[in-house]
């Protein structure tokens, strides 16, 4: 129990941002309204990158924000290229919502700028969350 309390205290800011970003990212998949196609198919990539930056920061606290953001960008770009490959085991994983959300289902070059933007935003969020709040005078 003490470990959980110290984990929560140490990562309070990261967890708060993660609690906000995760449903927002999922919402982009179900959004209907102006710019629906862009929100459903592109904007979600930004939140996807931010999500993974935050998750990695929770568990790999010794890594610097730029290392985390760079690693997340590299892996998600590799996953994008993996969408060109359709072996049965990957297709079975992509058959459900979570599998398709994590692995993706179709390759598109236009996802890469959103991955870059999301990784940069993840980097800045990690930098901000690691700063100690200044004492009030």
- Rounded to an integer, the average pLDDT of 56-65 is 94
- pLDDT, tens digit, 9 for 90 and up, residues 5-22: 877 877 888 999 999 999
* Whether pLDDT at 73 is above 90: yes
User: Residue 56 has what pLDDT?
Assistant: 97
**101 versus 73: which is more confidently predicted?**
73
Rounded to whole angstroms, the Cα distance separating 28 from 101 reads 11
* Whether pLDDT at 136 is above 70: no
Residue 117 near residue 44, CB atoms below 8 Å: no
Rounded to whole angstroms, the Cα distance separating 75 from 113 reads 14
Instruction: Report yes or no on whether pTM surpasses 0.75.
Output: yes
User: Residue 133 has what pLDDT?
Assistant: 59
């Amino acid at each position: 129990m003490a470990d959980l309390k110290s984990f929560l205290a140490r990562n309070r800011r990261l967890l708060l941002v993660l609690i906000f970003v995760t449903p927002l990212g999922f919402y982009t998949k179900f959004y209907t309204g102006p710019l629906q196609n862009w929100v459903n198919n592109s904007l979600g990539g930004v939140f996807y990158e931010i999500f993974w930056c935050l998750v990695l920061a929770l568990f790999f606290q010794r890594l610097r924000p730029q290392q985390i953001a760079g690693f997340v960008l590299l892996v998600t770009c590799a996953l994008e290229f993996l969408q060109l490959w359709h072996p049965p085991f990957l297709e079975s994983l992509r058959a459900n919502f979570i599998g398709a959300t994590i692995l993706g289902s179709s390759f598109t070059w236009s996802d890469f700028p959103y991955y870059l933007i999301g990784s940069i935003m993840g980097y800045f969020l990690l930098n901000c969350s690691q700063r100690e709040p200044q004492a009030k005078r």
